[in-house]
Structure 1
Amino acid sequence: MTPFTSRIYLLRHGEIVEQDVLAGGTDLLLSDVGFSQLSQACKYLTDVELVQSSTLKRCSEFATQFSHNHQIPLLLTDDIREFNFGDWDGRKYDELWELTHSPSIGDFWQSPWLVTPPCGENMADFYQRVFLWWQRLLMNIVNNHTHKQLVITHAGVIKQLLGIICELPKESNQQNMFAVGYGKFVCVEIYIDNMGKAWPKIVF
């Protein structure tokens, strides 16, 4: 096949209506500021061939509007939803740090691969769904020769993807060295060689 280059724009959703909460799988809306952050981020984004988005409203509502306004196909997927924190979801951080029963939020932050939030997702399952989504994305780029797409998702998902791309040990929690603000992009350029192998790199 003829080699080509593709670009993926990973975009974290904007500010949400509830502040200082562990949003996780809670379906919170964007604030007006958050919607404006995404609009500004995408203002000069041109030639996008596909928009993919988490199904959570803080991603999907803007993605739906953006794809409609620019007549771009939209794919909504649960695979890039934020980590599900179970009983901790949607609660104030101050309240979570005051909880004394086990497991605690502090236990989880220290050892996320060993501690599962009550009624929540475990880190191995989260990593696996993000990893498999990434593999399918690369395969679709090769098969469809997609040159540019926008992915609207969450900080936790983006950090996992950066860890995968950088080949960090998945259980090391080193991906938490990355910080992705509201409405901020991470650009990944992917070179597809003549054998159909994908070579991603992060572009600053």
Structure 2
Amino acid sequence: MTAFSSRVYLLRHGELTTKDVLAGHTDFILSKKGFEQLNIACGRLANIDLVTSSSLKRCSEFARQFCDFNKIPLNITDDIKEFNFGDWDGQSYDELWQHTKTPTIGDFWQSPWLVTPPNGESMAHFYQRITTWWQQLLVNTICQGTRSQLVITHAGVIKQLLAIICQVPKQLNYQNIFTVGYGKVICIDIFFDENGQAWPKIIF
């Protein structure tokens, strides 16, 4: 194949109408400010060929509007939904810190690879889910020759992708290494060599 470069913009959804909650898989919606944050972020991007969005409303509702207005293809997927916190999902942080039984939310934040939220997703499953999606994105980018794409997703997903790209050992608590604010964009440039090998780098 002919070597080429591609760009992936990772965009975290904006502020939610419900504040100070562990959102997870709970389908909260964006506040007016949240929509404004995403409009500002996307206003700085140009020549987007494709948008991929989490299926949760805080990502997908803006993605549909953005793609309809700009006539850009949109792919909505469950694969890049936020981490599933199970019984903790959707609860306020105050409630979680004060009332959760063993294991507690504190146990999880300290050792996410050892503690799984009750009825929630294990970190090993989350890692595999996001890794598989990223590998498929690389394959699709080569097959379609995509030069620039936008991915609208969640903080936990973006942190996981950054850990993969930076080759952080998966047992480390990388969720506390990176911080991604509402409506923030992280740019990944990927060089595909003649053998189809992907060489991603983070652009600051």
2-side partners of 1:94 and 1:100: how far apart? 10
Partner of residue 46, structure 2: 46
Partner of residue 17, structure 2: 17
| Contact persistence 2:13–2:182 (CA under 8 A) | yes
Q: Secondary structure at the match of 2:61?
A: helix
The amino acid that maps onto 1:193 is D
1-side partners of 2:187 and 2:145: how far apart? 18
TM (norm. structure 1) is: 0.98
2-side partners of 1:80 and 1:174: how far apart? 17
State the Cα distance separating 1:100 from its structure 2 match. 4.9
Instruction: Extract unaligned runs of 5+ from structure 2.
Output: none
| Contact persistence 2:131–2:161 (CA under 8 A) | yes
Determine whether 1:30 maps to 2:30: yes
Partner of residue 115, structure 2: 115
The amino acid that maps onto 2:134 is W
2-side partners of 1:31 and 1:136: how far apart? 32
Cα deviation, 1:110-138, whole Å, max 9, x if unaligned, reads 11111111111111001100000000000
State the Cα distance separating 1:176 from its structure 2 match. 2.3
What aligned pairs does 1:43-122 form with structure 2 within 5 A after superposition?
43-122=43-122
Cα deviation, 1:66-88, whole Å, max 9, x if unaligned, reads 11101110000001000010110
2-side partners of 1:36 and 1:46: how far apart? 18
The amino acid that maps onto 2:70 is H
- Calculate percent identity across the aligned residue pairs: 65
Determine whether 1:131 maps to 2:131: yes
State the Cα distance separating 1:175 from its structure 2 match. 4.4
2-side partners of 1:22 and 1:175: how far apart? 14
Determine whether 1:164 maps to 2:144: no
2-side partners of 1:52 and 1:174: how far apart? 24
Runs of 4+ with >6 A deviation: none
State the Cα distance separating 1:143 from its structure 2 match. 1.2
Partner of residue 5, structure 1: 5
**Count of matched residue positions in the alignment of Structure 1 and Structure 2:** 204
The amino acid that maps onto 2:103 is P
Partner of residue 181, structure 1: 181
State the Cα distance separating 1:178 from its structure 2 match. 0.8
Question: What is the root-mean-square deviation in Å for CA atoms of aligned residues?
Answer: 0.8
2-side partners of 1:108 and 1:175: how far apart? 11
Q: Secondary structure at the match of 2:28?
A: coil
2-side partners of 1:174 and 1:109: how far apart? 10
2-side partners of 1:153 and 1:105: how far apart? 23
Instruction: Extract unaligned runs of 5+ from structure 1.
Output: none
| Contact persistence 2:85–2:121 (CA under 8 A) | yes
State the Cα distance separating 1:98 from its structure 2 match. 0.6
2-side partners of 1:187 and 1:46: how far apart? 13
State the Cα distance separating 1:46 from its structure 2 match. 1.4
The amino acid that maps onto 2:153 is T
2-side partners of 1:175 and 1:106: how far apart? 13
| Contact persistence 1:79–1:129 (CA under 8 A) | yes
| Contact persistence 1:51–1:73 (CA under 8 A) | yes
Q: Secondary structure at the match of 1:42?
A: helix
Choose 110-119 or 99-108, whichever is displaced more.
99-108
